[in-house]
Amino acid sequence: MRKGAFHFILGLFCCVACKPEYSNHCNPKENALKERVNFKVGVAVDHDLLGFDLAYEELVQSQFNSLSPENAMKASYIHPASDQFDWYLADRLVNFAENHGMRFHGHTLIWHQQLPEWIENFAGDREQWRALLEQHIKTIVNRYKGRVAAWDVVNEAFVEDGSLRNSIWYQHLGASYIRLAFEYAHEADPDALLFYNDYNLAQNPLKRKAVIRYLEEMKLAGVPIDGIGCQFHINIHFPEVSDLNKCMEEVCQAGFKLHISELDIALNPFSRSMPQPKEADLKRQADRYLAVFKAFDRQPNLLKYGITMWGLSDADSWIPSYFNREDYPLLFDGNYQAKAAYCKLIESL
């Protein structure tokens, strides 16, 4: 075969089979998302990857300057028995953040999910539940005092109609558990910023308004609450960018610090078969990521706590396993290569 023909065939083969070669303008090895913006960009990390996968760690620390534990600080992991705390996983993540000069965002103290069995089955009276709540919060916050910058103190306490969720905490302590949780966290570390965190706040104005009103009243009554985490598990179709904007604006207008705390933009909300992402969807996803970053950047500087991605790559996103579908919601693909969304942010921010 002539040399020219050989190269032509090799070229054709590479177009189809080789990993995409990203030009330097968006090659993560030559760029850093965290340097493109004047606020913190974070990522929720998987404790099974951080510490075990060097490429994962390299990408985490080169692109982000804030870190959230995806699971390691949830009650089932960190407080497995009433008289036993297991710090191993959380310590590793906090140490990693410290060693790389990253802010650490604690997630999450009080939630109705991922509870250990001993809490699910706890048979105490109201006073014993209060004591449990206090011990849980104070022990954890105290251990990381001065090292964890902020906590999601209460997660997902509201339901879609704007009323309080009938969670295990609510059942045993009534609405007062929310106030108590913030007070105990503040007593343990007066310097930590304290957040309320929830989902569907952009999608559902009824829920958003109820949450903001409730937290405003608590704040007026002197409860130490600094900010609101809007999770932003969104997709390429829904909600409208104008609703994302509205959500951010209303949180800031109420004087709360704003955290886009769990950002991912799914491609496949209707659970179709999707062995590969479509080009057009990846472009739409890129536009949506840019819209979120730009809208966030327009908020008052003092209230911009940051944007946190809920996972690093499509291979470690919670969405495919949790919702049992193929999906590609994050900035990097399963080989830690930049997707169109990452390139768009690097090019346009």
Which H or E run includes 88? helix 88-99
**328 near ligand XIL (CB under 6 A):** no
CB under 8 Å, gap of 24 or more: what pairs does 234-237 form? 234/202, 234/203, 234/263, 234/264, 234/265, 234/266, 234/288, 235/265, 235/266, 235/267, 235/268, 235/269, 235/329, 236/265, 236/266, 236/267, 236/281, 236/284, 236/285, 236/288, 237/269
Contact indicator for 267, 325 with CB cutoff of 8 Å: no
| Least distance (Å) between residue 12 CB and ligand XIL | 40
Q: Which is nearer to ligand XIL, 178 or 346 (CB)?
A: 178
| 156 part of the active site | yes
Site residues (CB under 6 A) for ligand XIL, limited to 90-149? none
Q: Give me the amino acid identity at 88.
A: Y
Contact indicator for 76, 114 with CB cutoff of 8 Å: yes
Catalytic residue among 70, 183, 250, 262: 262
- Which ranges of 144-266 would DSSP assign to H, the alpha helix? 168-173, 176-188, 205-220, 241-253
Report how many residues bind ligand XIL under the rule CB under 6 A. Answer: 7
Catalytic residue among 70, 117, 156, 347: 156
**308 near ligand XIL (CB under 6 A):** no
Q: Strand 304-309 to strand 103-110: parallel, antiparallel, or no bridges (unpaired)?
A: unpaired
Contact indicator for 201, 215 with CB cutoff of 8 Å: no
Give the Å distances, CA to CA, from 333 to 20, 52, 316, 339.
Answer: 11, 19, 9, 6
| Least distance (Å) between residue 256 CB and ligand XIL | 18
| Least distance (Å) between residue 1 CB and ligand XIL | 51
- Residue selected from 61, 155, 200, 203 as contacting ligand XIL according to rule CB under 6 A: 155
| Least distance (Å) between residue 262 CB and ligand XIL | 6
| 127 part of the active site | no
Binding mask 253-272 for ligand XIL (x = CB under 6 A): ---------x----------
**167 near ligand XIL (CB under 6 A):** no
| Least distance (Å) between residue 265 CB and ligand XIL | 14
Contact indicator for 116, 79 with CB cutoff of 8 Å: yes
**200 near ligand XIL (CB under 6 A):** no
| Least distance (Å) between residue 231 CB and ligand XIL | 6
**71 near ligand XIL (CB under 6 A):** yes
Q: Give me the amino acid identity at 65.
A: N
Q: Which is nearer to ligand XIL, 71 or 204 (CB)?
A: 71
Q: For the chain, how many helices (H) and strands (E)?
A: 13, 9
Binding mask 27-66 for ligand XIL (x = CB under 6 A): ----------------------------------------
**318 near ligand XIL (CB under 6 A):** yes
Q: Which residues bind ligand XIL (CB under 6 A)?
A: 70-71, 155, 231, 262, 318, 322
Residues recognised as catalytic: 156, 262
